[in-house]
Amino acid sequence: MNDIEIGKSFEFSNTFTNDDVFAFAEITKDDNPIHINDSYASNSIFGKRVVHGILVISMFSKIFGTIYPGNGGIYLSQTAKFLMPVFINEEILAKVTLRNFDYSKNRGTFITECFNSKGDLVLTGEAKILFPQQIKMK
C-alpha cells in the first residue's frame, strides 16, 4: 500500500495488438470499420485502422486497480478527451498524477494522460478514486 503524495505519478505502458482490437470489438460489439476493416480505414481521415479510444482509457483502470492506489479502491469517475488517434502496435504510455486528495472523503483526484512513442499527448482527462481504507497519510 502506498502513501499519499500530491504530484506523484504512476505509469503503465501497453501496446494494443491486432488481436487485442479484434477481441475488444467482439466483447463490446463495437465493430466500427475504422477499427477492424483495413480498406475502409485506409480511405478514412486516419489512413489506417485505429485502436478503440475506450481501450486506451482502460490503461488508467489498470493503474488504479492494480498499481496505485491498487486493490480496494473504487473508481468514481473518469473523463477523457481523445486528442490523436492511437494506432495498432503503437506503444502507449499511460500516466496518472495525483492532483489532490480529500482526506475527509478519502478521495483522490488524478490527471490522466496517455502519450504515444513520439511523446505526443493522445488522450487527457481526470479521474476520481475512492481510496482503500488502509492508505496511510504522509
Binding site for a copy of itself (CB under 8 A): 12, 14, 16, 20, 23-24, 26-35, 40, 44-45, 52-55, 57-59, 61-62, 65-66, 71-72, 74-82, 125
Closest distance to a copy of itself from the beta carbon of 130 (Å): 10
Closest distance to a copy of itself from the beta carbon of 127 (Å): 10
Grid coordinates representing 79 are: 473523463
CA-closest candidate to residue 15, choices 90, 104, 110: 90
CA-closest candidate to residue 114, choices 91, 81, 92: 92
CA 69, 72, 78, 83 dihedral sign is positive
Closest distance to a copy of itself from the beta carbon of 108 (Å): 15
Closest distance to a copy of itself from the beta carbon of 129 (Å): 10
* Closer Cβ to a copy of itself, 71 or 104, answer by number: 71
* Closer Cβ to a copy of itself, 6 or 77, answer by number: 77
| Alpha-carbon separation of residue 84 from 1, 46, 62 (angstroms) | 34, 10, 21
* Closer Cβ to a copy of itself, 94 or 98, answer by number: 94
Closest distance to a copy of itself from the beta carbon of 118 (Å): 21
* Closer Cβ to a copy of itself, 6 or 102, answer by number: 102
Contacts of 24 (CB under 8 A, 6+ apart): 30, 52, 55
19 membership: H or E segment, kind and range: helix 18-28
